[in-house]
């Protein structure tokens, strides 16, 4: 029987790996998700013969699975596409919480003196899982705008966070070295929860994707650690896969922002900002704006238009209007492409999902490296609700908080139409020189309205 269960776990692990590799192409990605889900069903099914149910056990498993299924399904079904990042944060956090609780329950079984090989992974799982749980909830709150998305900083913050981290390590060591006393691991859990909150608070909303990805990797590791405690092969392999892939994804994301992970996590963003926004106090500078009719004519008689979508487009639910504009332009023979910055939206790939939702064929979606040399041949760069990802300060102003981030070369297009609701700065909170450029025309208004007006103007031109 044990052999069969182990073989089933092995099959599940193979399906997880296959699923992840199928995710590498848009064509097979959906099947990849099904493959991984099948692996999950097999792993859970194979566990059933291992269970020795008590009467209460049957009830809580049934109730827990029922409630979790309802919350998970409803949450995932009703969430708006723009809110996907915070939903991922939430689902990630609950996984971390579950890993910590399982480790607690397992540790309790051993009484006062658990063997070291069981206690070490349990303690790791409790600490990492709790940090992931609390950190993910703060990330959720920031993205859902239940609290400010700006970094929350106070004097001595680094010291306080350092002490919290030391406290977590201290209680972990105490737990391992002295004895399994409830006080030690309850304290460990509470401190780890506080550390999770304190760790995410000083990080700005723009950096949340990197944080969520890191916490995703953490949950994976917490699950793997719990696997060591339970001596469960499926947990070790699946948790480690997520830990490794999540770490790599975190690095890819911070690379896309041109910054090191340390720089993102330890608050350089917040510190530089004060200086930069003071230096950029250029509210008095003038910008050009134009009517929908003028812009419609400009677009209609262009040969090549590159649309640069940003989060503002998603907030205004303007994806369909953008596709409509692309359609009428293509009908006139204009070549239309979308330039997708790696961190457009709130997460790498997020913008692709939002545009795919509006039936934009993915062949038109160009990644930054693919499209950046095309801007100089483009007649119009149409910037819709994006800001920081086209800010030339990233290339030219060493003091700027976004200095070094790779940007889209929208400033090299022959004309730039900058659609914005107002002159308010973007997520990074800094001014954008591109708006004041000689080739730039501002078109103020709600993105959806403005695009719809451009569609009529192009049709009339």
Partner 1 sequence: MNNELLNELTFFVLAVFVGFEVISKVPTILHTPLMSGTNAIHGIILVGAVLIAAGANSPLNIALGLVAVTLATTNVVGGFVVTDRMLEMFRGRQQAKKE
Q: Fill in the per-residue mask, 250 to 269: x = in contact with partner 1 (CB under 8 A), - = not in contact.
A: --xx--x-------------
- How many residues form the binding site for partner 1 (CB under 8 A)? 117
Torsion of CA 373, 374, 379, 382, to 10 degrees: -90
Residue numbers 359-418 binding partner 1 by CB under 8 A: 359-365, 367
Residue numbers 105-134 binding partner 1 by CB under 8 A: 105-106, 108, 117
Residue 270's SS3 state is: helix
Give burial (CB, 10 Å; 0-12/13-18/19+) of 23: middle
Q: Are 33 and 16 in contact (CB under 8 A)?
A: no
Among positive and negative, which fits the CA dihedral 10, 15, 18, 23?
negative
Residue numbers 13-52 binding partner 1 by CB under 8 A: 13, 16-17, 19-21, 23-27, 29-30, 32-34, 36-37, 39-40, 43-44, 47, 50-52
> Which of 389, 342, 210 is closest to 352 using CA atoms?
342
Cα distances (angstroms) measured from residue 460 to each of 74, 107, 293, 296, 453: 44, 72, 8, 8, 11
Q: Would you state the structure tokens that stand for residue 193, as one six-digit string?
A: 């929860």
388 in active site = yes
**Does 340 engage in binding with partner 1 (CB under 8 A)?**
yes
Q: Fill in the per-residue mask, 156 to 175: x = in contact with partner 1 (CB under 8 A), - = not in contact.
A: --------------------
Q: Fill in the per-residue mask, 47 to 76: x = in contact with partner 1 (CB under 8 A), - = not in contact.
A: x--xxxxx-xxx-xx-xxx-xxx-xxx-xx
Residue 385's SS3 state is: coil
What's the closest the beta carbon of residue 175 comes to partner 1, in angstroms? 17
Q: Is the CB of 120 or the CB of 268 nearer to partner 1?
A: 120
Q: Is the CB of 57 or the CB of 275 nearer to partner 1?
A: 57
* 237/23 Cα distance (integer angstroms): 18
Q: Is the CB of 249 or the CB of 384 nearer to partner 1?
A: 249
Q: Fill in the per-residue mask, 139 to 158: x = in contact with partner 1 (CB under 8 A), - = not in contact.
A: --------------------
**Does 234 engage in binding with partner 1 (CB under 8 A)?**
yes
* 192/134 Cα distance (integer angstroms): 8
> What Rg do the C-alpha atoms of the chain give, in angstroms?
25
Q: Please pick, from the candidates 101, 190, 268, 287, the single residue that binds partner 1 as defined by CB under 8 A.
A: 101
**Does 84 engage in binding with partner 1 (CB under 8 A)?**
yes
List, by residue number, the catalytic residues: 388
């Amino acid at each position: 029987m044990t052999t069969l269960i182990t073989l089933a776990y092995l099959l599940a692990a193979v399906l997880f790996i296959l699923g992840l590799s199928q995710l590498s192409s848009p064509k097979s990605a959906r099947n990849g998700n099904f493959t991984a889900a099948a692996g999950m069903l097999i792993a859970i099914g194979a566990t059933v013969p291992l269970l020795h149910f008590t009467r209460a056990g049957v009830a809580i498993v049934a109730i827990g699975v029922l409630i979790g299924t309802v919350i998970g399904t409803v949450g995932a079904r009703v969430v708006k596409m723009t809110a996907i990042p915070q939903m991922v944060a939430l689902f990630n956090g609950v996984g971390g919480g579950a890993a910590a609780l399982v480790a607690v329950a397992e540790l309790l079984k051993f009484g006062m003196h658990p063997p070291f090989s069981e206690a070490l992974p349990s303690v790791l799982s409790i600490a990492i899982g709790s940090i992931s749980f609390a950190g993910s909830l703060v990330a959720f709150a920031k993205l859902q705008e239940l609290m400010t998305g700006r970094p929350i900083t106070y004097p001595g913050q680094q010291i306080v966070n350092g002490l919290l981290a030391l406290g977590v390590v201290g209680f972990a060591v105490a737990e391992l070295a002295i004895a399994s006393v409830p006080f030690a691991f309850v304290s460990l859990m509470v401190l780890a929860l506080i550390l999770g909150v304190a760790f995410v608070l000083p990080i700005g909303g723009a950096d949340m994707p990197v944080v969520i990805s890191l916490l995703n990797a953490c949950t994976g590791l917490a699950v793997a650690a719990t696997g060591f405690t339970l001596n469960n092969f499926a947990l070790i392999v699946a948790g480690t896969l997520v830990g490794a892939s999540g770490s790599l994804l975190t690095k890819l994301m911070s690379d896309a922002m041109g910054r090191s992970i340390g720089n993102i996590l330890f608050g350089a963003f917040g510190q530089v900002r004060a200086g930069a926004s003071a230096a950029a106090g250029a509210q008095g500078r003038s910008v050009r704006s134009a009517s929908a009719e003028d812009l419609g004519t400009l677009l209609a008689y262009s040969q090549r238009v590159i649309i640069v979508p940003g989060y503002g487009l998603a907030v205004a639910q303007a994806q369909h209007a953008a596709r409509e504009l692309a359609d009428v332009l293509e009908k006139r023979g204009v070549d239309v492409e979308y330039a997708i910055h790696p961190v457009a939206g709130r997460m790498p790939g997020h913008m692709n999902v939002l545009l795919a939702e509006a039936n934009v064929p993915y062949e038109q979606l160009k990644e930054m490296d693919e499209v950046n040399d095309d801007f100089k041949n483009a007649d119009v760069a149409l910037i819709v609700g994006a800001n920081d990802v086209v800010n030339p300060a990233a290339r030219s102003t060493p003091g700027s908080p976004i200095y070094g981030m790779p940007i889209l070369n929208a400033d090299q297009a022959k004309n730039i139409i900058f659609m914005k609701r107002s002159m308010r700065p973007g997520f990074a909170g800094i001014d954008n020189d591109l708006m004041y450029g000689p080739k730039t025309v501002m078109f103020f208004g709600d993105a959806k309205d403005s695009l719809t007006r451009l569609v009529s103007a192009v049709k009339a031109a």
